[in-house]
Amino acid sequence: MADLIRLLPDHVANQIAAGEVVQRPASVVKELLENSVDAGATRIVLVIKDAGRTLVQVTDDGRGMSTMDARACFERHATSKIREADDLSALRTKGFRGEALASIAAIAQVELKTRERDQELGTRVLIEGSRVRTQEAMACAVGTTIAVRNLFFNVPARRQFLKSDSVEMKHVLDEFHRVALAHPEVAFQLVNNDHEEYNMPVGNERQRVVHLFGRKYDERLVPVDEHTDFVNVTGFVGKPEFAKRSRGEQYFFVNRRFVRSNYLEHAVRKAYDELVSRENHPSWFLFIDIDPAQIDINIHPTKTEIKFRDDRAVYAMVHAAVRRALGRFNIVPSLDFEPEPAILAAFAGQGPTAAPPREAVPSWRPNDLGAFMAPPHKSAEGWQQLFGGDAPAVEATPAPPPAQRVIPWREHEGTPGERPVFQLHGTYIIAQLRSGFMVVDQQRAHERILYERNLKLIEQGAGLSQAELFPRHVELSAPDFALLQDVLPELRSMGFDLEPFGGRTVQVNGMPAEAAEEDPARLLEDLLEQLKHERGTLRNERHHILARSLSRSMAIRPGRGLSTTEMHDLIDRLFACEMPYHAPSGKPTLITFGLDELNERFER
């Protein structure tokens, strides 16, 4: 019987190994940038074309390589970082496995130009699919330039699994951000399709954050600075009021290496307890410096997973450092034991903001609420058509089906048009029904109203814009600016008057009429943050995503007081919607409670 086991050729083994190291163009960016940092570069230039499919080029002014090293660096397990296994316990460099360049060369066309400082000539190596095509001496600058062209040219199946250019470029920017944040002592430049995205000089950690994410972050950061004999924790955390509803910028660096750790994330989130709700996510940029002998980074080829020898001590230190930083800047929750002004006003007969003294508040009587009447004049989409017929018995349910819809009580003995309502905790609107009462979530109700309005405006392309007295300029990060340009036609159809102003700045000439009083920077930031985490490729689906995201960004926030007129208007517009019982997210906009349920609770 013939032998079955054979030793794979080197180029085949390299292609198989490349699957772990090189998953997409961003993987190439990560490995090349980290090699440049390890080479002692003070300036690194990254050039990208077609999101890295066509070209990923990294140029640095590091120490360069000799002629022999220029050829040997493409061999598997060839590295200058370690000599023996014990060196792993004192590792300070990014790379050490000796797999990156061999894996890249196995699935791309790679050109290397390098020269050492004390040499007059450098070396050029051209390699394709692990096979060296050319190696020759040439004149070049001190340092190293590696150009990776036509990624996966010899593995077409892998190339087909790449996503769109916008998705792949987002991953490239993520890797660029991670390396640039970890090394503010190095100048970085990024050129994407012949357009300069970033040009960051040498600076400190705070300056690097501002350069990458915009000037607005300068006022949002709280410094963290704790030092012990075991571990040092430095960097910045975001102020609680700037937490986002989707994951923001969250970075952990251990010995200047970006890592992912649910354990460390839990330590930071616990420090924000009572400051940020579970639905919101604060930002952080934390640098942990620890003895390399206390960690193990050799877990996965990407080297983003880490194990600590004493993980409990690290957890406690990170938690304490963040908690102390937040406390040092007086960021603590405030408790308000005052009664709700809107409730006091509703029963005292005063305006929504004029709360009477505590001793002047009369006792509450059920008859004070009166009855909830339909408006005297409604269109064909009004309540008369939506809720015609006799009133059915109402049970407590978040979203009654069409056959059990609530009929507002239309027979009121008082003045026609009177519909007493009041606000609870700046979040809910309460109104009496014929067979009970109704509680409306004002934010979700406003989301439903805005969603249907925005969807119609996108389809019709006829949104009204409120012109700004003085144009505003909003600086965005590179991913946000690219996303804004992608959805700019739809935004204009909803009433946004926006124009690129140079670089990553957009000029706001006008805002939708519904958002005339909103801060343009905050509104655009919230909208883009929502869009980042939505999915959809079909144009019709994208319209729904955009309308839903904008409705969330523009909706009334909990805690905002409303006048009686505003509450009436909100409820009228809600019941004029096609689907008034649900927000765009599918959650209920209102809940009804029947008299039967109340009688049962009071044991009548």
Q: Is residue 38 part of a domain?
A: yes
Whether 31 and 180 share a structural domain: yes
Q: Which two tokens stand for residue 29?
A: 């960016």
pLDDT beyond 60 at 351: no
Whether 359 and 374 share a structural domain: yes
Q: How many Cβ atoms sit within 10 Å of the Cβ of residue 17?
A: 17
> How far, rounded to the nearest angstrom, does the alpha carbon of residue 451 sit from its chain's CA centroid?
21
**CB contact at 8 A, 348 and 367:** no
**CB contact at 8 A, 132 and 126:** yes
Whether 33 and 114 share a structural domain: yes
Q: How many Cβ atoms sit within 10 Å of the Cβ of residue 12?
A: 12
Mean pLDDT of the chain: 78
Higher pLDDT, 323 or 247: 323
The residue whose two tokens read 């692990």 is 130
pLDDT tens by residue, 36-49: 999 999 999 999 99
Q: What is the CATH number of the domain that holds 364?
A: 3.30.1540.20
Mean per-residue pLDDT, 389-412: 39
Q: Is residue 63 part of a domain?
A: yes
Whether 566 and 424 share a structural domain: yes
pLDDT value of residue 134: 93
Distance (Å, whole) CA 47 – CA 37: 16
Torsion over CA: 260, 264, 270, 271 (sign): negative
**What pLDDT band is residue 64 in, cutting at 50, 70 and 90?**
very high
Q: Is residue 436 part of a domain?
A: yes
**What pLDDT band is residue 432 in, cutting at 50, 70 and 90?**
confident
Q: Kindly report which listed range (437-446, 474-483, 518-527) carries the lowest average pLDDT score.
A: 518-527
* Residue 349: Cβ-neighbour burial (10 angstroms; 0-12, 13-18, 19+): exposed
Query: Which of 182, 203, 224 is the last residue in one of the domains?
Result: 203
pLDDT beyond 50 at 405: no
Query: Which of 154, 178, 203 is the last residue in one of the domains?
Result: 203
Q: Is residue 457 part of a domain?
A: no
pLDDT value of residue 367: 33
**CB contact at 8 A, 248 and 282:** yes
**Structural domain of 349:** 341-444+561-601
Q: Is residue 484 part of a domain?
A: no
C-alpha radius of gyration, the chain, whole number = 31
Query: Which of 203, 235, 264 is the last residue in one of the domains?
Result: 203
Q: Which residues of 46-77 are buried (b: 16+ CB within 10 A; e: fewer)?
A: bbbeebbbebbbbbbbbbbbebeebbebbebe
In this structure, are strands 43-49 and 187-192 parallel, antiparallel, or unpaired? parallel
Q: How many Cβ atoms sit within 10 Å of the Cβ of residue 277?
A: 11
**What pLDDT band is residue 118 in, cutting at 50, 70 and 90?**
very high
Q: Give one DSSP letter per residue of 25-68, joined into a string.
A: HHHHHHHHHHHHHHTT-SEEEEEEEGGGTSEEEEEE-S----HH
Residue 406 C-beta-side C-alpha neighbours within 13 Å: 29
pLDDT beyond 80 at 290: yes
Distance (Å, whole) CA 308 – CA 297: 9
Q: What is the CATH number of the domain that holds 260?
A: 3.30.230.10
pLDDT beyond 70 at 377: no
**Residue 343 vs residues 350, 359, 424: alpha-carbon distances, Å:** 10, 15, 7
In 434-564, where do the E strands start and end? 436-441, 465-475, 497-502, 505-512
Please name every residue paired with 123 in a beta bridge, in sequence order, or none if there are none: 114, 137
pLDDT value of residue 255: 92
pLDDT value of residue 599: 86
Mean per-residue pLDDT, 395-420: 43
Q: Is residue 261 part of a domain?
A: yes
**What pLDDT band is residue 287 in, cutting at 50, 70 and 90?**
very high
Query: What kind and span of H or E run contains 211?
Result: helix 205-213
Mean per-residue pLDDT, 348-365: 38
Whether 147 and 26 share a structural domain: yes
Whether 285 and 244 share a structural domain: yes
Whether 251 and 192 share a structural domain: no
Number of helices followed by number of strands (H, E) in the chain? 17, 22
Q: Is residue 475 part of a domain?
A: no
pLDDT value of residue 464: 66
Residue type, 232: N
**CB contact at 8 A, 194 and 187:** no
Whether 352 and 282 share a structural domain: no
pLDDT value of residue 97: 61
**What pLDDT band is residue 389 in, cutting at 50, 70 and 90?**
very low
pLDDT value of residue 96: 58
Q: Is residue 242 part of a domain?
A: yes
pLDDT beyond 60 at 394: no
DSSP state of 298: T
pLDDT value of residue 78: 67
Higher pLDDT, 357 or 310: 310
Whether 174 and 212 share a structural domain: no
pLDDT value of residue 536: 43
Distance (Å, whole) CA 44 – CA 170: 20
**What pLDDT band is residue 418 in, cutting at 50, 70 and 90?**
low
pLDDT value of residue 534: 57
**What pLDDT band is residue 278 in, cutting at 50, 70 and 90?**
confident
pLDDT value of residue 82: 52
Q: Which two tokens stand for residue 460?
A: 């019709």
DSSP state of 281: B
pLDDT tens by residue, 243-260: 887 777 899 999 999 998
**Residue 105 vs residues 67, 94, 170, 387: alpha-carbon distances, Å:** 18, 19, 24, 69
pLDDT beyond 60 at 456: yes
pLDDT tens by residue, 197-239: 999 999 999 999 999 998 888 888 999 999 999 999 999 999 9
Long-range contacts of 459-462 (CB under 8 A, 24+ apart): 459/543, 460/493, 461/493, 462/493
Whether 259 and 274 share a structural domain: yes
pLDDT beyond 80 at 312: yes
**Residue 403 vs residues 384, 572, 574: alpha-carbon distances, Å:** 15, 21, 19
Whether 248 and 197 share a structural domain: no
pLDDT beyond 70 at 337: no
Per the structure, the count of domains in the chain is 3
pLDDT beyond 70 at 404: no
Distance (Å, whole) CA 154 – CA 11: 11
pLDDT tens by residue, 129-168: 888 999 999 999 999 999 999 999 888 888 888 888 888 9
Closest CA to 458 of 483, 495, 484: 495
3-state secondary structure 180-211: HHHCCCCEEEEEECCEEEEEECCCCHHHHHHH
**What pLDDT band is residue 388 in, cutting at 50, 70 and 90?**
very low
pLDDT value of residue 457: 77
Whether 401 and 356 share a structural domain: yes
